[in-house]
Structures are given as structure tokens and as C-alpha cells.
Amino acid sequence: MIAQRAAEKLKERFPDAVLSVSEFREQILVQVETSTVRDVCIFLRDDEELQFDMAIDVLGADRLVVEGTSEKADYINDPFDRQIRSKKQEISMNERFEVIYVLYSNKHKEYVRLKVSVAESGQKVPSVAPVWKSANWAEREAYDMFGIEFEGHPDLRRVYMPEYFEHFPLRKDFPLMGIPGSLPLPDKQ
Amino acid sequence: MNKDLIDPTKSKIYEALIDQYTSIESDDPLGSDMILNFGPQHPATHGVLRLLLRLDGERVIGCVPEVGYLHRGYEKLAENMTYHEYIPHTDRLDYLSPLSNNMGFALAVERLTGIEVPPRAQYIRTICSELARISSHLMATGSMAMDVGALTILLWTFREREKLYDIFEVLTGARFTTSYSRIGGVAQDMTEDVEKMIWQFLDYLPEAIQECERLLNRNRIFVERCDMIGIIEPDDAIAYGLTGPNLRGSGVERDLRRDTPYFVYPELDFKVITHEGGDSLARYYVRLDEMYESAKIVRQCLEKIPKGEIHANKPKKVLPSKERVYTRMEEMIHDFMIVNFGIHPPPGEMYSAVENPKGELGFYIQSKGGGVPWRLKIRSPSFVNIQSLPHLLSGVMVSDVVAVIGSIDPVMGEADK
């Protein structure tokens, strides 16, 4: 398994940056320190043995109501409890969002995943768009949907929503029905 | 809200076009420098893709693609419905191959939940994916030929695709929005009539493709329109994250059917088609040859397909059959629980991808143990492929833009999610 090997190598090379390594369904997930993610990615891409030469996906995620608290039990009992989104702030807002990198090595034909956590406001993630060109739009999408900002991104615009839209639709506190008036119709003429 | 922001000439997309190419002098005394807005309502953009092109005379010197005109928020919807309820929505992603989207999504949820699907269902899924690939490639070939002016091919490939849709109708009950997969199996069994129809189709298909080939492969207009335009080198193609026929058209052998085995592909004998060149013509050839390979795969599956169950034996995770729901108490309870509260995969997060006609379709699912996914990210191949358009289009003539877009075969339903 080259993904396990990658995790070991990362631990050797960046002992402070690798926070944890977990495995689920035979897939390796490496949690790394946010500020070092670009160096980690460059290492994974350029290392002779590993050669993770494709960034298949970069995605954001919101963990407003988080695992391990009492919310989880409620969630199972009533999966359609929309009110759950208002019961927020059990976790520290210092790690509200996460950005997940799905990398692929054409040499070994295997995936590895990295994860960083991002604070609700003020924290920027180093962009990996200079490392892999495919990360460019993926990071724009994460910005569009969650408002996660990437530092050093060449062209950080919204990708799906109109550029005058003021909210971030995939955040858990954005209502499913949308916010009335946030998308104005063209003037009748 | 500031009304100025809605004024198109003050929008950020124009700024992006100008900023990116500030090195090229824009105060041109002869006035050959212009900005052309291409789409979103242009018929050759295969949907609602918008390109903002900067032209120097007839040559494209800058391009900014804009997507999102078909954005329906499927990732948000997924967080508010059970896994079973989401299957019909996967039809609307890549609407030219709904069957393979269904299969990809069901596979992702099964990998997350840990369900092993019985062999007969695996074979049916493989057959469905490959038939969907043939139908999508027929459409891609036809519309690409139409984009460069050969209208006959579109009518011919449509005729063949129509026969496939007749098969889908008998097999799934719907021609277009099939919703055929279930978590842990498929909706209903494949009857012998369907097998017979597929055999008939397979006997006829090579001849039909060759008919198109005879009109195109030595057609000087078609070849010269597509040859040596929209070139992407293998290294760039990998860096841009291209997948599927577009990557294999650059000579990179990457096919998830072989590399990360799923369904029954490891038991089958097939080639990974690659073509050197990386131009529009190479991508066209890859699609043509893949249709023959897909037909070969379907033949092998039909020969090998075993009899047996089409649902996994996991009563609390897999929907029971309808007769059992109406006659047995246990099954009725399970049906009620699954339909109303969903299956409850264990907490965890995982990524699962399949090789779709357009490229790698991936689902990243974060589960908190509830009946609905906490976060479901769709990695859609068309979105990533469209991203490479500025690279492919730099330096081509404005009339070749449609030939390049046709050759990367984007589907906006999938790119915009």
C-alpha cells in the first residue's frame, strides 16, 4: 500500500505537520497542519517513490454540528430534524471547516487523502493551485460554497453562484430553501 | 445591492480575462483585438457553457470559461435526503449516461456501508455501464461531427442510440431517467428478452460504427478541421486532472476499470484504448475505439452472466422485493424503516470513483452515522475537463473553438451539479 508508505514518509519528513493518520474502508486519511499543506503537497508530488501527480479533487466541508457530542444521537433518531442546524457552536469555531485533498498516483494507481481544518473566519489555507493546475477550479468551488479563502490562488472568484451573491450555500447554517431576495431577478422593462 | 455589479462589463469575469493577459498590448491601432462572448445559449456549447474569448483577428489569445448556469445545488440536496432518495438525482448529472451514474453512486454507498453485491447484479451493472458508455460515445461522436459541419453522422448515431434507449426502456422502465440501481443491487432482474435485444444490438453495432467511420476517417474536411487543434501534452493533461477519453487521447493509459477494479471488470478481457497526439482527432478516435471495446465487454458479460439473486442479503440495508413487502411482516417493517429513515452507514468518510464515459466520476461521502449523508461531494469529470479549455484554446482560430469543445465532450448537467 503506497498510501501507508506515504503517511510514514510524511511523518518522517514533517514530524510536526502530520497530526494524525486514520484508516477507514482501506483508505488512508492524513490530517496535516493547515499552514504546511502546500509543502506537504509539493513533497508528495515530487518524491521519486510516491509521485502523486494528480489532484483528483479538493473539497470543502462544514462540521458545524460535530461528532462525539450528544447531537449525533438526536441525528439518528430524527434524520430530518432541520432545526438541528440552529443548535450550533458545540465545537470550537477554530476548526469549523475542513479542506480535503484527494490525490492520485499514476505510477502506483492508488489514492491518498489529506485533510486540514480551517477556522470560521480569518484563517487562510495555502493554495495548491500552483502545485496542480486541476486544484484551481476545485478551490474556487470550495470558496464559492463555503467561503474558505485560499492564499496564493491565482484567480479566486466564485465559480457556480453569481459574483454578486453574498452567502455561501453549502454551509450548514444556510437554509435549504435559500434566502429570499438574495438572487435578484432582472428589472422588467 | 449595488446595481453596478450586475453590469456585465464591470464584472469580475471580464477583469479575469484582461488581467490574465496584460502582457499582450491591448491598445491596438488597427482594432483587431476584440472580446467575444460565446454562449451560454450557443448550440455548439453542448448546453449552457459560456466562454469569454479574447481575439486577435481570428486567433484566440485568451479564454475564460464560466459555468454555473445549470447549478441546481445537488450537493445541498443530498444532505437533506436519504441515500435511496438521491438515486434519481444522479440521473440528472451526466444526462447522456444516467445508467452509469446510478451504478457509480450505488457503488459508493455500498463501499461506505460494507455491502457485497451478488454476482448477477454485478454483471448487470457492468452491462449497464458499458451500454451507457456506448450511448454516450455515440452522442459525442455525432455531435462533434455536427459541430464541424457533418450533419449526417449525428442523425445516424442518434438512430443507433435510439435502439439502445429501447433496450433501456424494457430493462429499467424508462428511456432517459433510468434510476435503475438500488443500494445493494439493481431495481429489477434482466429478463431473457432484454438479453436477446442486447445480442441483436451488438451484432448490428460494429457495422453501424463502421458506417460512420467510412464517412469521417478519410473525410478531408473533417480530418483537417480536427487534426492538430486543441493539443494537450500528457504532462499538462495530468496536471489539469483530465480523465477518461480526453486523457487517453493524450496517450496516458489511465482507466479506473483496470486500475482500481470494481464490478466484474477484473474477470473480463479488454484493452485500454490510447491514442498519441492529444488533439481533437485523437480524442475522436479514442471514443470510436472504446465503443468496440465496450461491445466486447458486454458480449463477455452476457456469456458469463450467472443466475441468482440481484439483491444483497442485508435486510436492514437493502430494500426488499415488493411481493415480500406485501406478504411478510418483517420485510414490511424493514421497507418502512429504509424508506423513511434511510440506511445508516457507519460514521466515516471515503472516496469512491468509477470510470464514466466522460471520465472519473467520484463521490466523496462523509457520514455521521445518520440516514442522510453529512456531506456528499460529486467529483464530476466534465467540470475538470472544461477547466483545461483555456489551455486547449490558446492560439486556435475562432472557428475551431467548437471543434475543440465538441472533442472534450462536456455535459453541463454534470459540470454544474
| Inter-chain touch B71–A27, beta carbons under 8 Å | no
In this structure, are residues B82 and B65 in contact, taking their beta carbons and an 8 Å threshold?
no
Within a domain: A175? no
Q: Does B353 touch chain A (CB under 8 A)?
A: yes
Does residue B270 belong to the interface with chain A, where contact is any CB pair within 8 Å? no
> Is the pLDDT score of B23 beyond 50?
no
Mean pLDDT of the A163-167 span? 84
Mutating which of B71, B375, B378, B386 best tests the A interface, going by the most A Cβ atoms within 10 A? B375
Is residue B125 situated within a structural domain? yes
Q: How far is Cα B255 from Cα B241, in angstroms, rounded to an integer?
A: 13
Confidence of residue B185 (pLDDT cuts 50, 70, 90): confident
Give the model's confidence band at B1: pLDDT under 50 very low, under 70 low, under 90 confident, else very high. very low
A132 with B82: Cβ contact below 8 A: no
pLDDT digits (tens, 9 = 90+) for A56-105: 999 999 887 644 444 443 444 444 444 444 444 445 567 788 999 999 99
Crossing angle of helices B192-216/B119-147, nearest 10°? Answer: 30
- Considering the domain boundaries, does residue A72 fall inside one? yes
| Pick among A54, A65, A101, A177 to test the B interface (most B CBs inside 10 A) | A54
> Could you tell me the strand order of the sheet in which B33-38 lies?
B33-38, B50-56, B59-66
CA atoms in the 13 A half-sphere facing the CB of A17: 22
Q: How far is A164 from chain B (nearest CA, A)?
A: 6
In angstroms, rounded to a whole number, what is the distance separating the alpha carbons of residues B82 and B114? 17
Beta carbons of B319 and B182 less than 8 angstroms apart: yes
Show the cell assigned to B360.
472519473
ipTM: 0.85
Contact B225, B148 (CB under 8 A): yes
Quote the pLDDT of residue B32.
67
Chain segment B280-322, per-residue pLDDT in tens: 899 999 999 999 999 999 999 999 999 888 888 888 888 888 8
Report the C-alpha gap between B111 and A64 in whole angstroms.
Answer: 26
Instruction: Identify whether the C-beta of residue B274 lies closer than 8 Å to the C-beta of residue B251.
Output: yes
Q: How far is CA B264 from CA A40, B140, B179, in A?
A: 36, 26, 21
The share of chain A scoring above pLDDT 90, in percent, equals: 17
Domain count, chain A: 1
For residue A159, being part of any structural domain is answered with: no
Cβ contacts of B285-288, under 8 Å, gap ≥ 24: B285/B249, B286/B245, B286/B248, B286/B249, B287/B137, B287/B140, B287/B141, B287/B245, B287/B409, B288/B137, B288/B141, B288/B209, B288/B212, B288/B213
φ, ψ for residue A99, nearest 5 deg: -120, 130
pLDDT, tens only, A128-150:
998 998 999 999 999 999 989 99
In a domain, A97, yes or no: yes
**Inter-chain CB proximity B5 and A163 less than 8 Å:** yes
CA-nearest of A47, A172, A44, A164 to B366 is: A172
Query: Domain range holding B390?
Result: 74-416
B240 touches chain A (CB under 8 A): yes
Task: Please classify residue B59 by burial: count the beta carbons closer than 10 Å to its beta carbon, then call 0-12 exposed, 13-18 middle and 19+ buried.
Answer: middle
| Length, in residues, of chain B | 417
Q: Which domain holds residue A102?
A: 2-151
Q: What is the CATH number of the domain that holds A78?
A: 3.30.460.80
Would residue A137 count as lying in a domain?
Answer: yes
Question: Would you state the pLDDT for residue B69?
Answer: 87
Grid-cell match 420485510, residue found: B331
Q: What is the pLDDT of residues B91-125, one digit of tens each?
A: 988 888 999 999 999 999 999 998 989 999 999 99
Q: What is the pTM of this model?
A: 0.87
pLDDT tens, residue by residue, B337-379: 888 888 888 888 899 999 999 999 999 999 888 788 888 999 9
Mean per-residue pLDDT, A4-12? 85
Q: What mean pLDDT do residues A8-32 have?
A: 86
Residue-level pLDDT at A68: 43
pLDDT at residue number A22: 87
What backbone phi and psi angles, to 5 degrees, belong to A27?
-115, 135
CATH code of the domain in which B209 resides: 1.10.645.10
Q: What is the number of other CB atoms lying within 10 angstroms of the CB of residue B21? A: 14
Residue B5 has pLDDT above 60, yes or no: no
**Residue B29: per-residue pLDDT:** 55
**Is cis: bond before B40, omega within 30 of 0?**
yes
Per-window interface: B 16-55 vs A, CB < 8 A: 16, 20
- Tell me whether residue B6 is in a domain: no
Inter-chain contact A79–B342, Cβ cutoff 8 Å? yes
Half-sphere exposure of residue A93: CA atoms within 13 angstroms, side-chain side = 6
Residue with cell 479575469: B16
Sign of the C-alpha dihedral, residues B27, B31, B33, B36?
A: positive
Select from B385, B66, B87, B363 the least CA-distant residue to A100.
Answer: B363
Residue B191 lies in a domain: yes
**In chain A, which residues have their Cβ closer than 8 Å to the Cβ of B348?**
24-25
Q: Decide: B337 and A77 in contact? Cβ < 8 Å.
A: no
Q: What is the tens place of the pLDDT at every residue in B313-336?
A: 888 888 888 888 889 898 899 888
Q: Answer whether A186's CB lies under 8 Å from A101's CB.
A: no
The DSSP 8-state label assigned to residue A134 in this structure reads T
Residues B259-271 have pLDDT tens digits of: 888 889 998 988 8
At position A167, the amino acid (one-letter code) is H
The total number of structural domains that make up chain B:
1
Grid coordinates representing B382?
A: 466534465
* pLDDT bracket for residue B230 (50, 70, 90): confident
Instruction: To the nearest 10°, report the CA torsion of B261, B267, B268, B271.
Output: 50
* Interface mutation target, options A139, A160, A164, chain B, most CBs of B under 10 Å: A160
